[in-house]
Every structure is written in structure tokens, then in C-alpha cells.
Amino acid sequence: MAPSSTRTLWKGAISFGLVYIPVTLHSATAEHRMKFNLLDKKDFYPKRLSGGQKQRIAIIRQLMCSDHFLLMDEPFSGLDPVMKDECCEVISEVAALNELTTIIVVTHDIASSVQIADTIWLIGRDRDAEGNIVPGAYVKETLNLIERGLAWQPEVTKLPAFAETVREIREKFNTL
């Protein structure tokens, strides 16, 4: 059931409109809302939430749907810098819960992706002889952040290799 403007955060956006809410779902949802700084928003309607808060709700919904597989499309858009860092921290915590956990993040946010990833795939397109973009895209380059000593590091953003990797990706972005 899709969240609507007539359902509160708890009754629509997170609980999917369930009539009977198991205790385990309630406590898991409360834990996620606390991690994403939304604990006091339980009875809010979606129209009263900011764009960043709605984005965090979408992340919570994904976490509630699958124990070991998350697909996230632009999870950092609309978040202020503080919430972006907190979001990266929560995603890293979720990834560390179980070695079977796989998280695929599609994003243009280079720094956040380097902060949470162990592998980065740069996806791009080819151009024909006249410089026109050829339809279709593919992985043009793979960056192994484990080999670079960046994966799973606390305070990774303070490491020199972090800044170098972000700069390297930015330089390649125009050629993708």
C-alpha cells in the first residue's frame, strides 16, 4: 500500500497500512526511526515532512523489506550535510550486520559513495566518431576500495586516500 497524504508516517509510510502490527515490526521500526532522527515523527502526515525526512522514510522502508539486500536510488538527495553523514553511518551499520548483506547504491554523490562502499562501478556510455552518445550504458571502470584501504574504515573521510579517490572519480565523470 503506497503512503498517501491521509495516512500518518506509522500507519502508511512504514507499516504499509497493516491493521495488526507485530511487536517485532513495531520495535524494529522504532529503532530505524531513532537512527534516522524520526522518532518524534510517527504521527506526522507525509505532507508535513521535509524532503530529507521523506528520503529517510524511503530508506527505512527498504530496510524493513529485506534482511540482506538493499537497492537504493539516490538515497542522499535532499539531505543536509549532517543527515547525509548520519545516513552513511546507518547504511554502513546495516552493511556490517551480516556478511551476506548486499547494498547497491545508485548515486551521483561521489563522496558519500566512497564513504560507504567497498566497490564502486563507474557507469558510462560510448560515443560514436562524431561525438554523439551511443545508446546504452555499461560499467566502464571498477574501483576496489578495499585495495585502496578505504572500505569499512571509521572516519574514512579524514584519510588522504579518500580525498584522492573522490578527486579521481570527479575527473573521470566528464568522460563517462
**Per-residue pLDDT at 91:** 85
pTM over 0.75: no
The predicted-structure confidence for 7-48, as pLDDT tens digits, reads as follows 665 555 454 444 444 444 556 677 777 877 888 887 888 788
The answer to the question of residue 8 being in a domain is no
Domain enclosing residue 123, as ranges: 109-176
Q: How many structural domains are present in the chain?
A: 1
Q: What is the mean pLDDT of residues 56-73?
A: 78
The answer to the question of residue 58 being in a domain is no
Amino acid at 103: I
> How confident is the prediction for the chain on average, in pLDDT?
82
Q: Select from 110, 109, 71 the least CA-distant residue to 91.
A: 71
The answer to the question of residue 131 being in a domain is yes
Q: Which residue has the higher pLDDT, 42 or 152?
A: 152
Which CA distances in Å does 40 have to 48, 97, 163?
12, 26, 36
The answer to the question of residue 116 being in a domain is yes
The answer to the question of residue 48 being in a domain is no
- Alpha carbons 133 and 75: distance in angstroms, whole number: 27
The answer to the question of residue 134 being in a domain is yes
The answer to the question of residue 138 being in a domain is yes
The answer to the question of residue 9 being in a domain is no
